[in-house]
Amino acid sequence: MLKKARIYIIICVAALFQYGNTFEHDYAWDDAIVITENDRVQEGLGQPSKFFRNIKGDEVQYRYGYRPITLLSFALDIELSEMTPKTGHVMNVLYFGLLCCLIFYFLRRMFPEKGTLFSIIIVGLFLIHPVHTEVVANIKSRDEILAMIFGMASLIFFLNFLEKPKSNWIHGLLMLVMLTFSFLSKENGITFVGVLLLLAYFKNSERIQPYFKYGLPILGGVVLIAIRYYVYSDAFFENNATELIESFQYKEDGFVGNPLLDANGFMEIFPNVFNILMKDIGLMLLPITLVHDYGFSHSTVVGWLNPLVIFSVLFHLGLIYVIIRELKKKSVLLFGILFYFITLSVYLHVIQVGPDYMGERFLFISSLGFIIAIVALIERLTKASFDSDAVSIWKNGKARIALGIIGVLFLMGFVKTINRNKAWENNRVLFETDIEALDDCVRSQYNFACMLHTEYYKNPVSSSKEKILYHYKRAVDLSDRAMKPMLDLGNAYMEFDQAENAKLAFEHAVKSHEGIATPLMQLGKYYLSQNEFELALIQYEKAEELSRIPEVYRLKAVCYLKLNQLDSALSSMEEGEKYNPKNADFYVLLSDLYVATNQNKKALLAIEKALEIAPNDANILSKLNLIQAA
């Protein structure tokens, strides 16, 4: 008993040692979605039911998908200790340690004929693999860890269901609960339905009829699909989003994250499936260059004549042959291969094109299958066996070769993971570490420029300007479809007193994004800043034709005022008020115009609306007092 417990303690200590250098890290990448900008998480566990609401909205916190279990875990962090980056990182590593223990227990149960060393090697390689740094070192990616924890628990309970007849229905029910929790941690938990069916195939059970053995996982899949449809149905789904352009916001073209969103049907997507498969194998075997973003044009749409695609097709045809040969044997190698493909399948864009072309976090669960297959393959190629104890194995020359290979993998993985952890310290370190490797990535170049720009506001060093402009321009040069970089490049030129370059940038945005109001409004603001009020008005009128938002009418009114057309300005504001402005400045200007036209009652109503939006604004309070005193 103590010996068994000692193994689990060693696993947990190893996890802490491997990722202990992340404990002092700050938030990074998209942690804001689930922590710093998520109101539900910040409120703690006071009302757990709020995490099970499915809300769509314009705010960043509503762009996370339906993952209530994961959000609950972040709220629990706040209850245990005021949420700090350190709390989040420590909890991530503890969850990861628990996961590694579950994997070890599952392997011992799944392959009892294999020795303890076999399971230790697999867990060890899983624990130190560098591709996992994005998940463990990035707090937000806890969803992957939790989905796998509950997924592995469902596999263990399913083994109990198959092997313990006296209480098998209790274990069957617990399997369904764990499977559901996995899915509610992250949607890719549904792939464990396929793994459960794989277990049903591998495990013979004379006590349980085949229709029960296979039927229970299928029932689990039906439950998950039902949950998915229900939480996005009109009966449950809360769609609080406005049309982004109507709220003067714009969502970046999804193409920037995944160029496959532009693909014309499955036949154009299909060669990219093989491209992704081969690149994923490359990351698993040689995780040398790791990056946080695989968007356009770091990743591009490829066709059947791409050399990597051709090689991948041939390789996977060979793999299909191996799978067919191994089917009757029900070998460990077969289990590893099928586990890998089943759990990776959801990220291959076959059923639905995802928001990201590929990512290291997408390999987190499937990497276990890959490692199982690799260890089984090393055993087979070296004719070694890890079935007996370590002392006996070490006496075998072939086994020593196998252990030597695995030892090198351990050392390389450990060192690479320790070093890669450092990149996830904060956005500054992450972006700067990856920027050279991501020179061809639109989103990364833009994000780096934004970060530098934010730092410039805090410390306006003249030498930073060129670097900021360079990375904005690099993002624009990579894709004409990247509207945010174009507009922010123009605004940066304005800020750095390069008005003519700003004009060119805004005109480029207008030309590249015909039919969208936002670039026209930015070009209008440029003309407004240059006191070219009639030209500005032309841009705002064009924008009005495309999108009737309050900001268009406010800016039109400003132009009319500059042109001494008071009545036109007031008319524009009254028209804009019909579209429910959410900006206090709108009502302040409307109130001022009513005062200027001696309509004090209307002026009072307008300034009171402004005060509702910004109740502590001293300027609004002052105007209110003046109107009331008149």
pLDDT score of 361: 95
CB 378, CB 406: distance < 8 Å: yes
User: Looking at the predicted structure, is the pLDDT value of residue 247 above 50?
Assistant: no
pLDDT tens digits, one per residue of 565-602: 999 999 999 999 998 888 899 999 999 999 999 999 99
CB 125, CB 375: distance < 8 Å: yes
Query: CA 481, CA 475: separation in Å to the nearest integer?
Result: 10
Percentage of the chain surpassing pLDDT 70?
90
Looking at CATH, the fold of the domain delimited by 429-629 is given as 1.25.40
Query: CA 209, CA 590: separation in Å to the nearest integer?
Result: 75
Closest CA to 123 of 410, 510, 461: 410
pLDDT tens digits, one per residue of 279-298: 999 999 999 999 999 999 89
Residue holding tokens 């402009």? 469
User: Looking at the predicted structure, is the pLDDT value of residue 250 above 70?
Assistant: no
Tokens of 415: 């060192």
CB atoms within 10 A of CB 612: 11
Mean pLDDT, rounded, of the chain: 88
Which residues of 99-235 form beta strands (DSSP E)?
none
DSSP string, 524-571: HHHHHHTT-HHHHHHHHHHHHHH---HHHHHHHHHHHHHTT-HHHHHH
597 by Cβ neighbours in 10 Å (0-12 / 13-18 / 19+) ranks as: middle
SS3 55: strand
pLDDT score of 630: 67
Closest CA to 356 of 205, 254, 466, 241: 254
pLDDT tens digits, one per residue of 425-466: 999 999 999 999 999 999 999 999 999 999 998 888 877 899
Query: CA 161, CA 174: separation in Å to the nearest integer?
Result: 9
Confidence band, pLDDT 50/70/90 cuts, at residue 348 = very high
Query: CA 182, CA 148: separation in Å to the nearest integer?
Result: 7
Residue holding tokens 């990364």? 444
Closest CA to 626 of 604, 610, 611: 604
Eight-state DSSP code of residue 521: H
Q: H or E stretch including 27? A: none
Which phi and psi (to 5°) does residue 356 adopt? -125, 135
37-45 long-range contacts (CB < 8 A, ≥24 apart) are 37/61, 38/64, 38/71, 38/74, 40/71, 40/75, 41/71, 41/74, 41/75, 41/78, 41/83, 42/78, 42/83, 43/75, 44/75, 44/78, 44/79, 45/72, 45/75, 45/76, 45/78, 45/79
> Where do the domains of the chain lie?
138-237, 429-629
52 by Cβ neighbours in 10 Å (0-12 / 13-18 / 19+) ranks as: middle
pLDDT tens digits, one per residue of 100-117: 999 999 999 999 888 888
Q: How far apart are the first and last CA of the chain?
A: 86
Amino acid 349 reads H
pLDDT score of 229: 81
Tokens of 77: 């962090």
- The H helix count followed by the E strand count for the chain is 28, 2
Residue holding tokens 């304005």? 494
CB 595, CB 583: distance < 8 Å: no
CB atoms within 10 A of CB 228: 14
Q: How far is CA 109 from CA 106, 113, 115, 519, in A?
A: 5, 9, 11, 60
Whether omega before 182 lies within 30 degrees of 0, making that bond cis, reads: no
Amino acid 448 reads F
Amino acid 542 reads K
578 by Cβ neighbours in 10 Å (0-12 / 13-18 / 19+) ranks as: exposed
- Characterise 330 by phi-psi region: left (phi > 0), alpha (psi -120 to 50), beta (else): left
Task: Return the axis-axis angle of helices 483-495 and 517-529, rounded to nearest 10°.
Answer: 10
Q: Which residues pair with residue 239 across a beta bridge?
A: 56
DSSP string, 176-198: HHHHHHHHHH-GGGGGHHHHHHH
pLDDT tens digits, one per residue of 291-342: 999 999 899 999 999 999 999 999 999 999 999 999 989 999 999 999 999 9
Closest CA to 118 of 104, 137, 128: 104
Report CA dihedral (149, 154, 155, 157) to the nearest 10 degrees: 120
Least confident of 348-357, 377-386, 501-510: 377-386
pLDDT tens digits, one per residue of 523-571: 999 999 999 999 999 999 999 988 888 999 999 999 999 999 999 999 9
Angle in degrees, CA 408, 412, 414, rounded to 5: 115
pTM value surpassing 0.85: yes
Least confident of 141-155, 238-252, 378-392, 500-514: 238-252
